[in-house]
């Protein structure tokens, strides 16, 4: 079914892995696609396999790069209907060994890149009361000891999703997220250090139906959801909520201790 027929969709980090799969799935559903990747050769390789596409090598970790990307979509296709914020990097190691450069790169690409592209896309979408943003988060947001910066960036993306969704409610624009499980180089880097984590298990392609759904009119009433994807299983995450609660007058450190018992 061509659920995205005629829509213009931007996919960041689309040179390989999940991004390439998302771009191919969007095109197969009828979309015109902007394939963004800072690696020109990777973007070009994806472009050869994806019809009705153009490539873009803007660095989305900068405001100007993100602006150039969104402007390119509008300049080429006359509109932007969808954005998949997929671009991401990971640095593996104990948190105390992380360098300033490592942390700036991970937060810059993953979180700021998502924030920049999404903000600039919303500026185009809200006045037209139309558009869908799909952010890509990760189960790592719950915390993994050797990818702390990556985990923090993905937790930030989830919070951005909830915040943007609340802001655009009722405008005709929707913001959701997916948390994929796929065999990619990034997932392999995580899995090698966390064999107990079930990640990098499924094909990138098995993670694409939810993204196509969220970009399409089928999801016209879905806003502020995070969907886990991969293989034959899918779920909608429950938002963080308050846990154990007590009330008392005159809290003391000892009383706080009893809250944890």
Q: Residue 31: which residues within 8 A CB-CB, separation 6 or more? A: 4, 5, 6, 7, 8, 9, 52, 81, 82, 215
The torsion angles phi and psi of 36, rounded to 5 degrees, stand at -100, 130
Active site residues: 150
């Amino acid at each position: 079914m061509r659920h995205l027929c005629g829509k213009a969709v931007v996919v960041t980090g689309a040179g390989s892995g999940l991004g390439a799969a998302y771009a191919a799935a969007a095109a197969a559903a009828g979309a015109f696609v902007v394939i963004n990747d800072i690696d020109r050769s990777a973007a070009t390789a994806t472009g050869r396999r994806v019809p009705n596409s153009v490539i873009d090598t803007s660095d989305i970790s900068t405001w100007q790069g993100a602006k150039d990307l969104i402007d390119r979509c509008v300049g080429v296709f006359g509109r932007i209907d969808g954005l998949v914020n997929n671009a991401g990097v990971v640095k593996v190691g104990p948190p105390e060994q992380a360098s300033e450069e490592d942390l700036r790169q991970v937060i810059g690409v993953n979180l700021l890149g998502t924030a920049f592209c999404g903000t600039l896309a919303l500026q185009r979408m809200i006045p037209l009361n139309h558009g869908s943003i799909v952010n890509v988060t990760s189960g790592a947001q719950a915390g993994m000891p050797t990818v702390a910066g990556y985990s923090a960036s993905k937790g930030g993306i989830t919070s951005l999703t909830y915040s943007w969704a609340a802001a655009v409610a009722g405008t005709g624009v929707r913001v959701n997220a997916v948390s994929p499980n796929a065999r990619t180089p990034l997932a392999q880097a995580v899995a090698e250090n966390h064999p107990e984590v079930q990640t990098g298990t499924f094909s990138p392609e098995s993670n694409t139906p939810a993204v196509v759904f969220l970009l399409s009119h089928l999801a016209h009433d879905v806003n502020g959801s995070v969907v886990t994807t991969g293989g034959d299983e899918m779920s909608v995450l429950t938002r963080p909520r308050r846990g154990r609660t007590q009330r008392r007058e005159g809290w003391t450190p000892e009383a706080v201790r009893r809250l944890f018992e």
